[in-house]
Amino acid sequence: MNSRTARLKSIKRIINEYHITSQEQLLAFLQKEEVSVTQATLSRDLKLLKVGKVSDGNNGYYYTLPRNRKEMESTQQYLSDITRGFLSISFSANLCIMKTLAGHADTVAIALDNLELDEILGTIAGDDTILIVMKENLSSQQFLATIKNIIPELELE
């Protein structure tokens, strides 16, 4: 493997494994791995790899590769769909009823399905109500904790 190929492979691995926020930080990681590169070459490599920056949600940005960026944007869209349509949630055994704004249930259910949460076996949506079938023996508190973990801004109380 030539030095350029090895360098590009290292850049991709570092970006995938770490929360890289600047070229300087990436240069430091590369230097730790004894990969010699100038800032100008690194800049060209990032352009070649189509590396972009996405918001970390805290007024900062970090590097991501195109495939990861698409996945993150999709996940962010699903979370936005849930937040936008959500009204309330209630439970009975391993069944969960989620109320949404009129016309939002199908969008929210699709978002929940696409998030592929282990806690959810499946969803059925009407116009403003979603039936969520949770895994057996999963408590409502455990389910709420999972939802709150991925969507902290959602008002679940």
With bands split at pLDDT 50, 70 and 90, how would you rate the model's confidence at 5?
confident
Which amino acid belongs to residue 116?
A: E
For the cut 80, the answer to whether the pLDDT of residue 152 exceeds it is yes
Give residue-wise pLDDT tens across range 84-99.
Answer: 999 999 999 999 999 9
Grouping H, G, I as helix, E, B as strand and the rest as coil, residue 39 is helix
Q: How many CB atoms lie within 10 A of CB 95?
A: 12
Q: Which of 83, 86, 62, 75 is nearest to 151 (CA)?
A: 83
pLDDT at position 77 is: 83
For the cut 60, the answer to whether the pLDDT of residue 1 exceeds it is no
Q: Which domains does the chain have, with CATH numbers?
A: 3-64 (1.10.10.10), 72-150 (3.30.1360.40)
For residue 122, give the H/E element and its range.
strand 120-125
Q: Which of 121, 111, 122, 118 is nearest to 84 (CA)?
A: 111
pLDDT at position 65 is: 85
For the cut 90, the answer to whether the pLDDT of residue 61 exceeds it is no
